[in-house]
Structure 1
Amino acid sequence: MVFSLVSLCATEVVSDHSSSPCWLKWIPRELYRPLLEAAFSSNRPLAVGELVQRWPERTLRVGRRKRGATSPNRLCIQALLLAVVRGLSDQSVLQLLDLCGQQGDEGSLGDPMGGWSLTVALCTMVVQARAGAKRIQRKEGERERKRFSALQRESDVKRERADVVENISMVSSEIKSEEVLTKGVRRRMEMEKKGVGPSGAETGTRIDCDDDKDADVLVHVRADLFVNARSWERVRAALSTQGPLKLQCRYLRIEEISVSSIKTLLDILPHQFLLGMDVRYSSLGVAGLAELLLPLSTFPALESLSLHYCNLDLRRDLHGQEEALKDLSQGLKQLHRLKCLSLTALRLPGQLRVLLSLPQPLEILELPYLSLSPADLAYLSCSHHASTLQQLDLSENRLDETTLPSVRRLLSQASSSLQHLSLSGCSLTDHLLGLLLPSLGCCIALKSFAFALNPLSMSGLMELVKTAVRMHSLRQLLYPNPLEDYQPGLPDLPSSAQLLDWPLDETTEFNTTSTQLNRVLLDNGRSDLLLTCDLLNYHNNLKDE
């Protein structure tokens, strides 16, 4: 990574906190951003806090990291949040704090703040800011009451002085003539009849004070929220709080929460900002999912919906299941802007037509572990989604000669748009791969292809790589370890689970397979094509693109 002169100077400036009183007064507003980035990268929470508390712009975005950069340190994020709260009483110009995409991996290098921790910290900040605003209101109300009491005392003093003056006038009038005395008494009686005080001014001054009025929102806080059973109450309290900070959500991730709790969360969530929802490990059922789709249809910007291990588990022996499927289909038809649908292990074989009852064609479709039937794949290959797909994941769905024609037709339909394809763990042998390669080679836009955990021999793997090097758009290939690289005892047609757990002969794998594959790359001049058999590194590279 190449650092600019400004970045290097900013890193040097924030490295010495004792000098901050000198430079904070004089820095121009265009240098706040590089200084803040340097404070984050150098793990300087004190500098982060001082810069954020004096932030000169209406918007502060933290979180969109460059490739290879690490997540900000946990202490730096905490200092940022604390500075935002302190800035509320300092008349800061900040109006929007955007932390979308900020979550790091819990416990990784540098101690970044993970999604769950960041969500809890944000919600705590919102609630505490509301409590602080109430305390300030109480103090202002007390000052107002004291000022009112002072005005009342001043009014009483004036009234007493007026009474003394009136008494003196009455005593002195006794020595006057009867005619003058009569006129004075008559005038005084007329004034009392009109309700005007002796001093000539109306009494009873009153100052209205509305202590119950909610404070206006000063800063909108936008973030990706991670909600589970432990944080649900805190998130609900923060979203329901009316105060100087208002929490907004871009992507919502939910784990192990009931349907009723998810509905409550959707009811109080700001509707105009939600782009995607990811539900995991929640036993929804077909009826429960259909129940959630109605409130989801009210979010106008919703583009992504993910359901992972949510156990829809259709049981036709239960009464009302067919009706629930109809409700599910009708609910999906209301999601007019959905572009990404990710479904994992939903236990609904043969119901892909229902799950894809969407009015607009999808760009991203992920269907791993879905037990797709031949009818499902046949429908998908002829659906209105096929020609617009940019990313397709069919991993861990068993493919054979009966389903392969549908897959080939699907690849043909998506040949000009498909950029990312995963067929890992699909039980594709050398023979089936040979039938698939012509259709795969026609995908002219394909950038990455995952084919791990398929039972290929070394000759089958070489055919795959030879096809890959002829695909000029392809940049990454996740290939399976050939059967020859495993230790003895592996079944003739092993499953993906067996291939994942069976030990490799490390010597053979590094000295033979890698050498032959790299020779194919060199012979074809494809130094831009990454070949890997590492599942973790492959997926991390995809995230960084």
Structure 2
Amino acid sequence: MVLSLVTLCAKEVVSDHSSSPYWLRWVPGELYRPLLEAAFSSCRPLAVGDLVQRWPERTLRVGRKRGQTNPNRLCIQGLLLAVVRGLSDPRCVLQVLDLCGLQGDEGGMGDSMGGWSLTVALCTMVVQARTGAKRALKREGERERKRFSAVEREQDVKRERGQWKRERETSGDEATIADSQELGVSDGERMESSSGTVGEDERMKGVRRRMEMERIREAAVTSLGGSRKETEDKDAHSEVLVHVRADVFVNARSWERVRAALSTEGPLKLQCRYLRVEEISVSSIRTLLDLLPPHGLMGIDVRYSSLGVAGFVELLPLLSVFPSLSSLRLHYCNLDFRRDLLDQKEALKDLSLGLSQLKNLRRLSLTALRLPGQLRVLLSSLPRPLEILELPYLSLSPADLAYLSCSHHASSLQQLDLSENHLDESTLTSVQRLLSQSSASLLHLSLSGCGLTDGLLALLLPSLGGCLALKSLALALNPLSMAGLTDLVRMAVRMPSLRHLLYPNPLEDYQPGLPELPSSAQLLDWPLDEHADINTTSSQLNRLLVDNTRADLFLTCDLLNYDKDLVD
């Protein structure tokens, strides 16, 4: 990649933090973006902080771009600290901080900030901003109180002097002077005595007046709904200066902190685009959903939470209040209709009714929910066709696949995952019909671990070859021989849009003793033959690419590192 002159200069400028006080004051607003990108790519957290604290635009979006790694953890921490400091910096005009898509994997490569860590840091930033605003308001209130007291004292002094003068003029000064002369009192003693008596009385009146005004002020605050402290807290938290948009990752350890941040009213307001929850109860999920504003939430991902059928039915009405919700993902959530037999018909009715309220759902992912024979109930109630349907480990029956191939979703599917659902002769016709219906729209297809043998694959290849828009195809952990793999690659090179093909290791590469029709679990655990050269298999398959001039097609058997999202 050729770097532009602006990028090269920006990297050089941010490389020396000691010079930032000199160049920051002269940098025009349009150069802040390339300077910030250079600070992220060069891992300069101090430069990131300086730029964000003075950010000259209303919106700041920081997210991972395609082909780039996540920003360094220290840079993200510097950004968050600078956002809080920028609240009191008049040079900063930031109103929206967008961190959607920024999360990396916990424990991944490099020193990027994972989804859970970023969520905790964001919630801490929101709470700290609230505390700082409260302290600032308290200091401002104390200064205002002192200023008001000084003004009152000055007004009291002026009022006392004027009243003393008027009383002196109206009380008959001449009589007082005559009496004083008869008593032999001097002019100086008379004035001192008169001013002392009147001044003391007026000072007492001034003190009583201030006490009465303070009492009235306190009564007014109480009548408006609370104590002085509550009113100050309300004033401190009522104005939102910066809206923070992010994907929120919640588990049992971070639930309390996320709940506190979402319920906090302060200068920073946390908004959630995608909510991912792990290992928390239905009641906790319900509490989080109640704290989220109706607009903004686009997807929810529930993992490893023991929802059960009843819990899922309970959550569906809560999801219907989010008009922008387009993605629903449930992974290992203990939904098993084969075990939950009590009131199953009523539960299915409630489930169908709840799904029918999700008007804009575009993605539905259900992993290991054990719902054989119930696919029609789940999908027929959805009002609009799905674009992404992921059904791995779902124990789909022939009736499920038959319904799916004829459903209103088939012709709109762009991504389909049927991994780990056993396919045989009884389901072959339904799969062929499904591929034919979705051939014009399907971009990504996964049939890994479906028990496809050489014979089944040969019958399925014409339907696969008809999916001319397909960009990625995953067929890992299927019991195919080298001859079957060769036929697969010969078909793949004739598909102009295909860019990634995940193929299984051929049966010839495994150690002896493998069953005749091994399962996907056996293929995953069975050791490969040390004497077999895996590179030979790869070389034979890649030679077919060279012969057909398909350098743009990537072949791999690496199941763990395969990522369809890398396809352009």
Query: 2:365: which partner in 1?
Result: 342
Aligned residue among 485, 504, 510 for 2:509:
485
RMSD over aligned Cα, in angstroms?
2.0
Letter of the 1:144 partner, please give it. E
Rounded to whole Å, the distance in 1 between the matches of 2:501 and 2:341 is 45
Question: Would you say 1:63 and 2:86 are equivalent positions?
Answer: no
Retained in 2: the 8 A contact 1:393–1:423? Answer: yes
Cα deviation 1:61-97 (Å, max 9, x = unaligned): 0013231x22111111111000000111113210000
Letter of the 2:443 partner, please give it. Q
Retained in 2: the 8 A contact 1:286–1:321? Answer: no
Secondary structure of residue in 2 paired with 1:531: strand
Query: 1:95: which partner in 2?
Result: 95
Secondary structure of residue in 2 paired with 1:365: strand
- When residues 498 and 317 of structure 1 are mapped into structure 2, their CA distance, relative to the original with a 3 A threshold, is closer
1:360 deviates by: 0.3
Secondary structure of residue in 1 paired with 2:469: coil
Letter of the 1:399 partner, please give it. L
Query: 1:291: which partner in 2?
Result: 314
TM-score by length of 2: 0.88
Query: 2:111: which partner in 1?
Result: 111
Q: Name the count of aligned residue pairs.
A: 519
Query: 1:534: which partner in 2?
Result: 558
Secondary structure of residue in 1 paired with 2:271: strand
Question: Would you say 1:364 and 2:388 are equivalent positions?
Answer: yes
Query: 1:183: which partner in 2?
Result: none
Secondary structure of residue in 1 paired with 2:302: strand
Query: 1:395: which partner in 2?
Result: 419
Letter of the 1:89 partner, please give it. S
Secondary structure of residue in 1 paired with 2:425: coil
Query: 1:184: which partner in 2?
Result: none
Query: 2:248: which partner in 1?
Result: 225
Letter of the 1:239 partner, please give it. L
Cα deviation 1:117-153 (Å, max 9, x = unaligned): 0000000111111111111111111112112211221
Retained in 2: the 8 A contact 1:255–1:279? Answer: yes
Rounded to whole Å, the distance in 2 between the matches of 1:486 and 1:110 is 34
1:107 deviates by: 3.0
Query: 1:143: which partner in 2?
Result: 143
Decide which moves more: 455-464 or 162-171. 162-171
Rounded to whole Å, the distance in 1 between the matches of 2:279 and 2:516 is 39
Unmatched 5+ residue regions in structure 1? 177-201
1:510 deviates by: 3.1
Query: 1:130: which partner in 2?
Result: 130
Aligned residue among 498, 502, 507 for 2:522:
498
Cα deviation 1:94-120 (Å, max 9, x = unaligned): 000000011112233431110000000
1:163 deviates by: 3.0
Secondary structure of residue in 2 paired with 1:6: helix
Rounded to whole Å, the distance in 2 between the matches of 1:136 and 1:104 is 35
Secondary structure of residue in 2 paired with 1:37: helix
Rounded to whole Å, the distance in 1 between the matches of 2:528 and 2:49 is 51
Retained in 1: the 8 A contact 2:500–2:567? Answer: no
Cα deviation 1:435-475 (Å, max 9, x = unaligned): 11111111111111000110011111111111111111111
1:537 deviates by: 3.0
Rounded to whole Å, the distance in 1 between the matches of 2:553 and 2:148 is 78
Unmatched 5+ residue regions in structure 2? 177-208, 222-230
Query: 2:441: which partner in 1?
Result: 417
Query: 1:158: which partner in 2?
Result: 158
- When residues 509 and 386 of structure 1 are mapped into structure 2, their CA distance, relative to the original with a 3 A threshold, is farther
Letter of the 2:13 partner, please give it. V
1:276 deviates by: 0.7
Rounded to whole Å, the distance in 2 between the matches of 1:175 and 1:500 is 119
Query: 1:29: which partner in 2?
Result: 29
Query: 1:40: which partner in 2?
Result: 40
- When residues 536 and 544 of structure 1 are mapped into structure 2, their CA distance, relative to the original with a 3 A threshold, is farther
1:533 deviates by: 0.6
Letter of the 2:445 partner, please give it. L
Query: 1:4: which partner in 2?
Result: 4
Rounded to whole Å, the distance in 2 between the matches of 1:285 and 1:38 is 48
Query: 1:273: which partner in 2?
Result: 296
- When residues 166 and 50 of structure 1 are mapped into structure 2, their CA distance, relative to the original with a 3 A threshold, is same
Query: 1:170: which partner in 2?
Result: 170
Query: 2:281: which partner in 1?
Result: 258
- When residues 466 and 293 of structure 1 are mapped into structure 2, their CA distance, relative to the original with a 3 A threshold, is same
Retained in 2: the 8 A contact 1:315–1:321? Answer: no
